[in-house]
Chains A and B, each alone.
Chain A
Amino acid sequence: MTSIHVLNGTSFSLRDIERLVKSIQNIYSLPVFARNQSLNLEEAYDPIRRQFNSTVLLAQMLLLPNEHKNKLISLVEVDLYVPILTFVFGEAQLNGTVSIVSTHRLSNLFYGLKNDPELLLSRTEKETIHEIGHMFGLTHCHHFECVMRPSTYAEEIDFKKIFLCSSCSKKLTEKLNQSAKLSTSEREENSTA
């Protein structure tokens, strides 16, 4: 069975991470594990932009041992970008195994506002669940409150809720069934071999 692994590179407390894990479990009904693990950020740093290339970090994650093709999601505190865009909150491999979320622009501090740890955690939960959705093949949704709705600014994330709309839930079930069938047939092939 596929499992989800949170690679924490942030200063979130253990309690916060436990809450995050629970939220992910509630949505995906899969085993979720969390561990502290930092990526080699230096490799992804662009001194001109003073930002970190998220695609480079995803490439690093693909090199991590992942025999069972589990879903890996990294949490970082640095500002992420992809070359053509000014910034990204996160990036994921669509139908893939790796994804990343940055808390940099999710924090009120970035916008010169008063620190709000609860808001930061809530936004992180939503964006993490969103990027995991992409790893399961979900695309953006236009349901106003669905977590798969795209967000291009922080307040937009606040409108979303930690839930998948019925359409995205249905798609997720189909995708999970497909991948379960695929892994069963792969196992059978391997045992025959």
Chain B
Amino acid sequence: MSNDIAILIIDDELVVRDSLTKWFREDGYIVDSAENAVEALKKLQQRKWHIILLDIKMPGMDGMQLQPKIHEIDPSIAIIFITAHASVDTAVQALKAGAFDYITKPIDPDHLSHLVANAIKQRALQGENIRLKEQMEEFTKVDEIIGDSFQMKKVFELIQTVAKTDTTVMLRGESGTGKELIARAIHANSERRYFPIITINCGGLPEGILESELFGHEKGAFTGAQYRRKGKLELADGGTLFLDEIGNISIKTQMDLLRVIETKQFTRVGGNEIIEVDFRIICATNMDLERAVKEGTFREDLYYRLNVFSISIPPLRERKTDIPLLANYFLKKYSQAMSKPINSISPEAMEILLEYKWPGNVRELENAIERAMVVGSPPAITPRDLPFQKSEGTLEYQSDSLATLEKKHIQNILEKNNWNISRSAEILGIDRVTLYNKIQKYGLKRPE
């Protein structure tokens, strides 16, 4: 290993250069020396140096001035300053400016060996770190968020702005607009990307279960709690907690959640041990939270805690220019997955896709393309492969409000599928809980 490490000694005193050169040669390192900054900068261009021993006091450009120039050429070089006792303060400044360490003259041989060994170890660790990070980048890559419209470009800008910070983000948008994908993109671009992103669908779980999911529980906390279990808050330690459908949580859980957000501490259900956690919160909702606050169903203090940086994801019908792009993306995706040679969408089918209102947004579009890929035949998706036709999906609804349109569409799909909730939810591109909520919201009833 010593044979690969190159050490450059920069000192104006010949005796220092000579004795250190000799010392390191005996250790088997590649060693050279320079008597001033000019010579050193020349030697830095000639080969790769791993460690530099740099004298602070030199005529002309001194060590302190030379340090940033060395790191400009190669930031990975470990610089060890050589200083007299009197200049220790200067050496401390150098450390703050990124030097690896400093050593005072005359040098204790044991100290010198340890310093150099540590510098080599650190270099190896840095290399390993870079390699691991590169590997991790592969794991943390998120699915591509497709969109070329003005609205989506704005969303991308907001993601970039907020990702590097630790700010709580609230994602607003209708079902199926890709809120989870955006949350993952924020996480993947943040400093927390090497830790997990933990998703909790708050709307999909009854209160007791949600509490246990969030906080975990101790053995025997309730019937069936046979083992201690870590909650999602604990699992998200270091990473991001994505709370989907935040508007649907009960007042009690809202209170518990607020306490955790404020203190970053909690106890497991049935436990006394205080657990400290560090996570970033991203939450999402398609509800009118402001209205929920006014109506008293959502705590105002929690609302302000969560609504720090808001990103609104536009519904698909408001960014029609993205439809061909998305449709072709899904076409390619499913064509590859199904090994089916359908590689285009006929102009007539595309016209229908463009005119349709997409109440289930991108998720509905993806489902529509997936379905078309299943029922369709090569070489292209045609109108008859789509789950709706021009007359029922577009013209009929044109004068209705969005809510009426959504209600009619849901009713239509439910009836067509004989009120099979799972199948209808799949076609609508929403989950079952959301569909139940919408059935309740619009007062839809199954025919007797």
B110 at the interface (CB under 8 A from A): yes
A81 at the interface (CB under 8 A from B): yes
B448 at the interface (CB under 8 A from A): no
A64 at the interface (CB under 8 A from B): no
Give min CB distance, A32 to chain B, whole Å.
Answer: 22
Overall SS of chain A's interface:
loop
B113 at the interface (CB under 8 A from A): yes
A108 at the interface (CB under 8 A from B): no
Q: Which of A84, A142, A150 touches B26 (beta carbons < 8 Å)?
A: A150
Give min CB distance, A137 to chain B, whole Å.
Answer: 10
CB 8 Å contact bits of A127-155 with B (1 = contact, 0 = none) = 00000001000011010000000101100
A33 at the interface (CB under 8 A from B): no
Give min CB distance, A95 to chain B, whole Å.
Answer: 10
Whether A84 touches B28, Cβ cut-off 8 Å, given contacts A55-B19, A94-B22, A150-B113, is no
CB 8 Å contact bits of A84-110 with B (1 = contact, 0 = none) = 111110011010000000000000000
Q: Which of A85, A91, A92, A142 touches B106 (beta carbons < 8 Å)?
A: A85
Overall SS of chain B's interface:
helix
Q: Say whether B26 contacts A152, CB under 8 Å.
A: no
B436 at the interface (CB under 8 A from A): no
Q: Say whether B20 contacts A134, CB under 8 Å.
A: no
A82 at the interface (CB under 8 A from B): yes
B60 at the interface (CB under 8 A from A): no
Which residue of chain A lies nearest to B114 when distances are taken between CB atoms in the complex? Answer: A152
- Give the chain B neighbours of A81 by CB distance below 8 A: 106
Q: How far is the CA of A166 from the CA of B212 in the complex (A)?
A: 62
- Give the chain B neighbours of A55 by CB distance below 8 A: 15, 18-19
Q: Say whether B27 contacts A140, CB under 8 Å.
A: yes
Which residue of chain A lies nearest to B109 when distances are taken between CB atoms in the complex? Answer: A152
Whether A152 touches B19, Cβ cut-off 8 Å, given contacts A86-B106, A139-B25, A140-B28, is no
**Inter-chain CB contacts under 8 Å: number:** 60
Q: Which of A85, A94, A153 touches B25 (beta carbons < 8 Å)?
A: A94
Q: How far is the CA of A106 from the CA of B13 in the complex (A)?
A: 30
Q: Say whether B112 contacts A140, CB under 8 Å.
A: no
- Give the chain B neighbours of A88 by CB distance below 8 A: 109
Q: How far is the CA of A139 from the CA of B24 in the complex (A)?
A: 9
Whether A84 touches B20, Cβ cut-off 8 Å, given contacts A139-B2, A140-B2, is yes
Q: Which residues of chain B from 11 to 52 have a CB within 8 Å of any chain A CB?
A: 13, 15-16, 18-20, 22-23, 25-28
- Give the chain A neighbours of B20 by CB distance below 8 A: 84
Q: Say whether B27 contacts A84, CB under 8 Å.
A: no
Q: Say whether B26 contacts A94, CB under 8 Å.
A: yes
Q: Which of A86, A91, A94, A150 touches B107 (beta carbons < 8 Å)?
A: A86
Q: How far is the CA of A189 from the CA of B91 in the complex (A)?
A: 56
Which residue of chain B lies nearest to A82 when distances are taken between CB atoms in the complex? Answer: B19
- Give the chain A neighbours of B27 by CB distance below 8 A: 139-140, 150
CB 8 Å contact bits of B79-109 with A (1 = contact, 0 = none) = 0001000000000000000000000011111
Q: With A49-B106, A139-B2 given, can you name 19 additional A-B contacts, CB distance below 8 Å?
A: A55-B15, A55-B19, A82-B22, A83-B13, A83-B16, A83-B19, A84-B19, A84-B20, A84-B105, A84-B106, A84-B107, A85-B112, A87-B109, A94-B22, A94-B26, A134-B26, A140-B27, A140-B28, A142-B2
20 examples of A-B residue contacts, CB within 8 angstroms: A55-B15, A55-B18, A82-B22, A82-B23, A84-B20, A84-B82, A84-B107, A85-B106, A85-B109, A86-B108, A86-B109, A87-B109, A91-B22, A94-B26, A139-B2, A139-B26, A140-B27, A140-B28, A142-B2, A153-B110
**A residues near B, CB below 8 A?**
49, 55, 81-88, 91-92, 94, 134, 139-140, 142, 150, 152-153
Which 5 pairs of residues, A with B, have the shortest CB-CB distance?
Answer: A152-B110, A139-B28, A82-B19, A152-B109, A83-B15
